Structure 1
Amino acid sequence: MKTAFQYRPKFVDIRVRPPKPEEAAQAEDVHALKPGERPCDHADCRLAATARAPKSRDLMGEHYWFCQAHAAEYNRNWNFFAGMTEGEIRARQTDDQTTGGRPTWAFRAGAGTREAAAARGGFTDPLGIFHAAQARHTQDKAAYDRRLGKLERGALADLDLDVNADAPTIRARYTELLKRCHPDTNGGDRSAEHKLQRVVKAYKTLQKAKLV
């Protein structure tokens, strides 16, 4: 009588190579970026950027890169005409219809025109309307020269700074606002906690933009 069949496996010990430290760290971090991916430009976001959005109406050729969720949030809050008066909006729309938004050059004003009279001091602005418009124009030009978009402008505004603020000024104001708003340094007053969150987020945004 033949003996009963006995199964004999070829391998009795299967050894698995342990992962390298960097591989183990990446396996634990589900938000780790893959090679070639870029991070979302939104503060505190670690997801990969998959969509782009223009920085501002003056920088349509430059873009932020966001993940899908933050791209949707940015688009909901996007307003091309934000900060413009009704007259400026109408002028922009007329310009787009007539010139397609391309730059044009005006002829030199004659000696008897209103522009020439204003240059000689013959025009007054008692309500400060044109002065305010000129101030906004100056701010917009400064922001354009520094290539600042909507996020950077908003972050500087949350720190109570203008668009010309440099890195040392930003750091100094951030430290000042932290002391003023944090309960541990203002005697336990928690009324400024919302402002504190905006300040911290603004500073992180400026760090991502490499302005500090």
Structure 2
Amino acid sequence: MARSTRSVDWGFPRWRPYGAEREAVKVRLCDREGCDKPGDRPAPKSPNSPERWYFCEEHAGEYNRNWNYFEGLTAEEAAKREADERRTASGYAESKHNGWAGPGDGSRSRDEMRALDVLGLDPDAEFELVKTTWRKLAKENHPDIRPNDAEAAERFQAVQAAYDVLRAGEERRQWRPDVEPTD
């Protein structure tokens, strides 16, 4: 019987996906000496280098276990680099404000929550209560009432700043009720 020269993907349905080639596929082997598995996991050869090793899964795991990102740096340089990278990656830090069972109903920002702590109020306090508490604390700690008292003056400034933050947040919610607060 004669051998058929026809391919299996003639006509309909196609038995092979579009773009598939009939030729051999090039496979990069693992860069580890003596390994014949496909090397499909890139790993940097050195910090901040564009050159890469290509390992199989097993050898990539072994390489990552022994990887020291700060190799060759002094302790001060390593601390500086870590601080710089934490500053630029702050958006990826763990979101503590999204935790379950946190205080408040989510309508107030982190700064407003701190301001409520300064005034000694609960996270869900109404603005009228904020206003009356602010007036009471401002009268108690005012520099005209307590002259030459540095602690009272400092407390008065903290109470004023807290009230300013809460008042601005309340005004923002009144003018734009559809906008969610940001931290």
Task: Report TM bin, short chain.
Answer: 0.3 to 0.5
> Which of structures 1 and 2 has the larger relative contact order (alpha carbons within 8 angstroms, sep 6+)?
1
| TM-score, scaled to structure 2 | 0.37
| TM-score, scaled to structure 1 | 0.33
Point out the structure with max Rg over C-alpha: 2
